[in-house]
Structure 1
Amino acid sequence: MLVMPWLWAVFTVIAAAAQTARNALQRSLTERLGTIGATHVRFLYGFPFALIFLGLVHLAVPARAPSVSAPFIAWTLAGALAQIGATALMLAAMRERSFVVTTAYTKTEPVLVALFGVVLLGDHLTGWAWSAILVATSGIVLMSWKPGTEQSLRPAVLGIVSAALFGLASVGFRGAIRTLDTESFLLAATTTLAWSLFIQTAVLTAYLAVMDRPGLMTIFRAWRPSVAAGFLGAFASQFWFLAFALETVAKVRTLALVEVLFAGIVSGAIIKQATSPREGLAIALIVGGVALLLSLG
């Protein structure tokens, strides 16, 4: 299947934009549904859309459904469970710090995901690629840290652990995609998405049914605002998985740092507030690192 070499970058930017909108919607649901409830929304209401995406791909791609193997289930299960934990910790951090700062904490992920990818998947990165990842990530650290103000350790720890789990989830999903015996990256990515959301929906529904049945009923009753979050979550994941099917997780998640700029726009921090020299330097480092990464092909 002929694929343009830059297509993964297009998929990543689309995914980052959709995920920013999804995170904003999930954050608004946290006060009403709690951290676990708001986490479950993206999976429960996203799963039907994943099945729709899979059906559309099967109609568009003249290829048989790939067979599911034990390694595929193992990789998908690992990625799905890591993503549940990562999302819950991210939303918990957002309850204590701003939307932009929490997003920045979670975007310390690229260095971690690069290491995970090399160790677990055997991904190869050049010295220039490592440089691009470090430059962009340093911009994230600079943006999230404000000298002269009291820094709370708890949201920072929550955000960074969330980043590590998001990194493991990305590696798990790319590992699952690579086990499928199909030449269609569209089919491999969408099949993996459907399975991952099925696992996540089953796990969290069972957990809430036992531990917090009233909370589960509240999630069902809050279907109107939750459907939008579920759709955006599935839509964003669809494009993340397409990018993972074409490129290393390290490159995908480094380019995904543009999400911090999108988060700033959504929160009004970039539009309504003057950018300080420190923030300007941070943005320049992020953009510079991403540009270097893209120039490497």
Structure 2
Amino acid sequence: MPIWVAATLCAGLFQTWRTALQQKLRGQLSVNAAAVVRYLYGVPVGVLLVTLYLTFVGGQLSTISWLYLVYAALGGLGQILGTNLLIMSFGHRGFAVGTAYSKTEAVQAAFIALIFLGESFAPLAWLGIAVSVSGTLYLSLAGRVSSWREVIAATMQPSAIYGLGAGFAFALCALAIRAATQSLDGPDPTLRALETLVVINMLQTLMQGGWLVATERRSIPQLFSTWRSSAQVGTLSALGSACWFTGFAYAPVALVRAVGQVEILFTLLFSRFFLKERMKRSDVIGALTVVAGVVLVLLGR
């Protein structure tokens, strides 16, 4: 199995796990504070990962340039903006719709990379990207729309517009992270990805932490009083990002994100085996569609 595929599958698992744990922080922290803990507590985890990699695998840290820092800052900011747009879509009573349309990130990343970076994929890979995203949309919207007219109407909702904006921001974030990783001079893509994780988490802590200081200063003590739950969320967030960044270091963003749609399968499995919820027929159809899309992406690679 290619390293980028294994890393992407692990990223989906860690992200699902982190999302489940982050629910515990809902009543304890504001939206901004909950976002900050992901980065703040993720920094020491990233440093530990780099240290362990250097100790057991070996290598040498890269030289950081100003261009690298620009790419890293854009990647970190893109993730923050994408997350905020996604949360704004929830505010319009459109949790499912907003989430669904944010998952168009893989398709948007593919077209951005094609237009601006000249990246092209085999027809089978394009088909796989479309099928995997379609499966995710079906899983999110099944039972909420029953005709193409309702799908079009849902697309015009504010929640869908914000969701598409979130997908666009996440796509730009991923492309900036890939560019940052590739701009480093180290020979080991995995080590470059881990280095980028630390730098971006530090920049995100400064960016969103600075915003928190300016707008919600009274929330700052809560960042540390909830350290047990926050540290778990930060750890899983760092592990997930490390896997995503590794995937981006080895393969085009669109392909990584298309394979990353398996995240929704982990969500369904968590729902079925841990929460003991019954899977509906639409869940099975959507899951199989996502799997089929991922298989097509891998065959077209």
With normalisation by structure 2, the TM-score equals 0.88
**Residue 226 of structure 1: SS of its match in structure 2?**
helix
Deviation at 1:168, TM superposition (A): 1.1
Matching of residue 215 in structure 1 with residue 219 in structure 2: yes
**Aligned equivalent of 2:245:** 241
Go from structure 1 to structure 2 and tell me whether the alpha carbon gap of 1:154 and 1:263 turns closer, same or farther (over 3 Å shift). farther
Q: Distance in 2 between matches of 1:106 and 1:31?
A: 25
Go from structure 1 to structure 2 and tell me whether the alpha carbon gap of 1:106 and 1:267 turns closer, same or farther (over 3 Å shift). farther
Aligned ranges 1:45-194 → 2 under 5 Å:
45-93=41-89, 96=93, 103-145=99-141, 146-147=144-145, 153-194=157-198
Q: Distance in 2 between matches of 1:267 and 1:90?
A: 22
Deviation at 1:92, TM superposition (A): 4.9
**Aligned equivalent of 1:293:** 297
Q: What is the root-mean-square deviation in Å for CA atoms of aligned residues?
A: 2.4
- The one-letter code of the counterpart of 2:127 is S
Contact 1:12 1:243 in 2 (8 A): yes
- The one-letter code of the counterpart of 2:68 is F
**Aligned equivalent of 1:39:** 35
- Say how many residue pairs are matched: 291
Of the structure 1 ranges 209-218 and 82-91, higher mean CA displacement relative to structure 2 is found in 82-91
Matching of residue 265 in structure 1 with residue 261 in structure 2: no
Deviation at 1:164, TM superposition (A): 1.7
What do residues 246-289 of structure 1 show as CA deviations (whole Å, max 9, x unaligned)?
1110110000000111122334499522423x443322221111
Q: Distance in 2 between matches of 1:23 and 1:92?
A: 17
Go from structure 1 to structure 2 and tell me whether the alpha carbon gap of 1:116 and 1:28 turns closer, same or farther (over 3 Å shift). farther
Q: Distance in 2 between matches of 1:279 and 1:129?
A: 24
Contact 1:76 1:192 in 2 (8 A): yes
Contact 1:136 1:257 in 2 (8 A): yes
- The one-letter code of the counterpart of 1:284 is L
- The one-letter code of the counterpart of 1:281 is I
Go from structure 1 to structure 2 and tell me whether the alpha carbon gap of 1:272 and 1:102 turns closer, same or farther (over 3 Å shift). farther
Runs (4+) of structure 1 moved beyond 4 Å? 91-98, 100-103, 148-152, 268-271
- The one-letter code of the counterpart of 2:246 is L
Matching of residue 11 in structure 1 with residue 17 in structure 2: no
Q: Which runs of 5+ in 2 are unaligned?
A: none
Contact 2:46 2:238 in 1 (8 A): yes
